Amino acid sequence: MIQRSDSRKVKDLWVINSVSAGRPTLETYKYQMPGEAEAPKDEVWLFDFAAKTGRKLNVAAFKDQSLNTYSKPALNSDRDNEFRPALWLGDNNKFYMGRTSRDLKRIDICVVDVKSGTVKPVIEERFNTYVEVQRPGLVNGGKELIHWSERDGWGHFYLFDENGKLKNQITKGSFHCEDIVNIDEKARVLYFTANGREAKEDPYYYHLYRVNFDGSGLKLLNAGDFDHAASMNDAGRFFVNNYSRVNTVPKSTLYDNNGMKVMELETADLSLLMAAGYKFPEPFKVKADDGITDLYGVMYKPFNFDATKKYPVIEYVYPGPQTEAVNKSFGKSMDRTDRLAQLGYVVVTVGNRGGHPARSKWYHTYGYGNLRDYGLADKKATIEQLADKYSYIDANKVGITGHSGGGFMSTAAMLVYPDFFKVAVSNAGNHDNSIYNRWWSEKHHGVKEIVSLKGDTSFKYSIDKNPDLAKNLKGHLLLMHGDVDNNVHPAGSIRVANALIKAGKRFDFILVPGQRHGFGDMTEYMFWRLADYFNNHLLGDFTQSTNVNMTEMDREVERKN
C-alpha cells in the first residue's frame, strides 16, 4: 500500500539563498496558502506483488480531503533496531485509514478490505470546530476498536464493535486522556496516559492509568505531584517511570502493571549544577482574563535574586493552539528562559485560553475564529496579577518575546496593548496568517466551506493580521527572520516592516542570512542580539551593545593571533 499526494496544481513559493556559493540561488517549492483553490490530491494505491498489479482506491468523500493511513504501533523492543519497517494497522485482509474534510469538521475512520479494495467508514466524527482523532487501538484483530474522541468535550476513550457500533465509553470525567500505551486483550485492560484528573496538581502533569474495557477499575499507576513519562514493555507487565517538575531533581523508578514499585532506578545528580549557583524556577497559578479559568506558568529569576529590588519582566510566549511554551518537567529546554533571567529579569512563561489540546475542547478551541488576538488578554492579566502579588516585579517595564507563533504573538501584543508591553523581540513570526500554510491556519482559525446552488464547493478564509495594526506601535520592536525560511515565509515579517514604515514608525529588523525557520548556527548570535535589545530598552544598559565584538559568545574561544 502506498499513500501519495499529487501537488502539481499547488502554487509555487520561493526563497532566495543570498549566501550560496557563487550566484544567489532561487529555491522553488509547493506551498498552499489558506483559502486557495489549488490543493494537493491525496491518493491511496494498493498493490499485489505476486500478481504485479495495482489499483487506486476509491476514497472520495470530501473536496480537498486529507488522508491518513494508520501504521501499526512500534514495539519498544524494536527501538534500537536500525531496520524498522512501516506496517499498516490491520492484518492481511484489512487495514485502517482516516479521511478528513478540508474544514476539519468531519473525520471518518475507515476500514479497507484488501481483497475487494472497498473503503468502509466505521466511525464518524463531526464537530462545529475542528475535529481531532488518534490512531485507533485494535482488539482481537479489529473485532473491537478503542477510539479516542472529544465528543463529550474532553478527550476520552470509547469502545466500538467492528461495524462502528458504540458499545460503551471507557473513560469519562473532566480530564484529558492522551495516548494508548498498551492493550491487554485477554484481561480486557487498557493502559493509557492522561492529565488533569488528580486534584491539587498542575493539570498538565501526565500520569499512567489502567482501566477495564467496560470503564470499571480505573486506577492511577504512578502517583505523585510530578510530570510523569512512562515507558511500558511490550508484554505490558512493567513500566519505567521518569518524573520531575521544573523545580525538582529528575528520578526514574520501575513499577509493575498494578502500580507496585519494583525498584528505584536512578536519581539525576545536579550537585555540580547547584554548586555553580543554579536555582530552580518557580511554578505558579493565576486566573485568565475572564477571572475564572486557571492558567499555569513558570517564573525564572536571576540566581542572585534580591526580593528588595525591582525587576523588569519578560514574557516568553507561544500562543498554541497545539502547545504552550511552558515547561512542566526539569530539562534542557529551560535553558533559554533561565539564561535570559540572569541578565537581570524575571522571565515568565504561562498558558492561555486556546493554547493547548491537553485540557477541555473548549479551552483548546477558544481562539477559533480569532487567531491573532485570542491569547493576548491572558498574557497581560498574568503580569498584572504577578505584579500585584510580588513587589519585585515592575509592571511598568514589560517585555515580550517568542519564536514562530511566539514571534507573531509578541508583535501582536505590542500592537493590541501598546501602553502595556514596552519592548518585543519577535523571531520568525507568522504575522500574516493569510500567507502561512493552509493546514495550520485553516485548522486553528477556521475556513468556511461554501456549496453553490450548482453543487460546486469552494473555501473562504479571512483573518486579522499584524500589519493591520502597525499604526498602534509605541514601544521598541525588533523583528528577526531567516531569509530562506520555507516554513514561515520571511514575507510575513517583511509585510510588518512595510506597514511600520508606511505608518512612520521606528523599529529594528534583522534578516538572518542563509537560515531556515530555526536560526541554525546563528541561534547563539541571535540570542545575544535579543539580550542586547532588552538590556537597551528595559534596563537602559548599553554597555555591551556598543562593543562591536560579541564577547559574550566568544569568551570561550581561544585567541591565537
pLDDT of 486-535, one tens digit each? 999 999 999 999 999 999 999 999 999 999 999 999 999 999 999 999 99
Total residue length of the chain: 561
Taking the C-alpha atoms of residue 536 and residue 423, their distance in angstroms, rounded to an integer, is: 10
pLDDT for position 420: 98
Distance of alpha carbon 57 from alpha carbon 80, whole angstroms: 35
Is 546 a residue whose pLDDT tops 90?
Answer: no
First CA to last CA distance, the chain = 61
pLDDT in tens, 127-178: 999 999 999 999 999 999 999 999 999 999 999 999 999 999 999 999 999 9
Q: What is the pLDDT of residue 85?
A: 87
Dump pLDDT digits (tens) for 252-306: 999 999 999 999 999 999 999 999 999 999 999 999 999 999 999 999 999 999 9
pLDDT at residue 351 in the model: 96
The answer, yes or no, to whether residue 556 has pLDDT greater than 70, is no
pLDDT range class, residue 544, cuts 50, 70, 90: confident
Separation between Cα atoms, residue 357 and residue 486, nearest integer Å: 26
Longest distance between any two alpha carbons in the chain, whole Å: 80
Rounded distance between C-alpha atoms, residue 347 and residue 330, angstroms: 16
Q: Where does the pLDDT of residue 95 fall: very low under 50, low under 70, confident under 90, or very high at 90 and above?
A: very high
Q: What is the pLDDT of residue 36?
A: 94
Res 336 pLDDT > 90? no
Rounded CA gap, 139 and 184, in Å? Answer: 9
Q: Average pLDDT of 394-400? A: 97
Average pLDDT of the residues in 49-66 = 94
Exposure string over 25-49, b if 16+ CB within 10 A, otherwise e:
eeeeeebbbbbeeebbebebebeee
What pLDDT is attached to residue 377? 97
Peptide bond into 321 cis (omega under 30): yes
> Model's pTM, two decimal places?
0.94
pLDDT at 552 over 90: no
Confidence band of 554 (pLDDT split at 50, 70, 90)? confident
Given a cut of 90, is residue 543 above it in pLDDT? no
pLDDT for res 28: 97
Grid coordinates in use for 441? 491556519
Residue ranges with strand state E in 327-454: 346-350, 393-403, 423-427, 448-451
Q: Are 99 and 61 in contact (CB under 8 A)?
A: yes
> What is the bridge-based pairing of β-strands 41-48 and 311-316?
unpaired
pLDDT band at 561; cut points 50, 70, 90: low
pLDDT higher than threshold 80 for residue 555: no
- The answer to whether residue 479 scores a pLDDT higher than 90 is yes
